[in-house]
């Protein structure tokens, strides 16, 4: 029920050509270093698949019905399709964060010094950063709307799937 009320955020890695046009698009962590994305095995005799490295490209749910806003946009799968939005998520070059939570005496903490720069600036990425980036953009849109006396954006999915004339 709630899957239709969620804005799913994908996180691609993109490369632009010399004319600033999209040259390639792939999941931000797609099969890093040739490691297969899924490893199969058994736990307590039961078959399992574990995530090793890599990312999905989205797709169509086997569980959830298609929400009306996707159907109205011309998607005719009958099932929920994700992601709804893609935000840049590649960790190279990534989004720079500064973290000093590192104890050099014990070599412990969540943020070791960057091996290239030797300081606390580290590039990060992934959908864990793409989703808050989208949320921040929606928050700014809501602030702007409120300042202009307009209604807030609210649940954005129907708006995202509304065809627009160019």
pLDDT per position as a tens digit, 76-124: 889 998 889 888 887 777 777 888 777 777 777 777 777 777 777 877 7
Bridge partners for 57 per DSSP: none
- Beta strand 85-86 with 9-10: parallel, antiparallel or unpaired? parallel
- Per-residue pLDDT averaged across 6-13, rounded? 85
Bridge partners for 47 per DSSP: 42
Looking at residue 150, its pLDDT comes to 96
């Amino acid at each position: 029920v709630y899957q239709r009320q969620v804005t799913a955020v994908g996180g691609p890695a993109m490369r632009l050509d010399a004319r600033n046009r999209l040259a390639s698009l792939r999941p931000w962590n797609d099969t890093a270093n040739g490691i297969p994305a899924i490893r199969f095995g058994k736990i307590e005799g039961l078959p399992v698949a574990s995530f090793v490295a890599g990312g999905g490209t989205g797709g169509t749910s086997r569980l959830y019905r298609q929400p009306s806003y996707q159907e109205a946009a011309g998607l005719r799968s009958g099932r929920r399709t994700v992601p709804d939005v893609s935000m840049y998520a590649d960790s190279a070059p990534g989004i720079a964060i500064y973290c000093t939570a590192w104890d050099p005496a014990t070599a412990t903490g969540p943020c070791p010094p960057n091996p290239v720069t030797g300081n606390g600036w580290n590039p990060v990425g992934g959908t864990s950063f793409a989703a808050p980036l989208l949320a921040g953009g929606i928050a700014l849109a809501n602030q702007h709307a409120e300042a202009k006396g307009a209604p807030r954006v609210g649940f954005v999915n129907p708006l995202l799937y509304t065809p627009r004339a160019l």
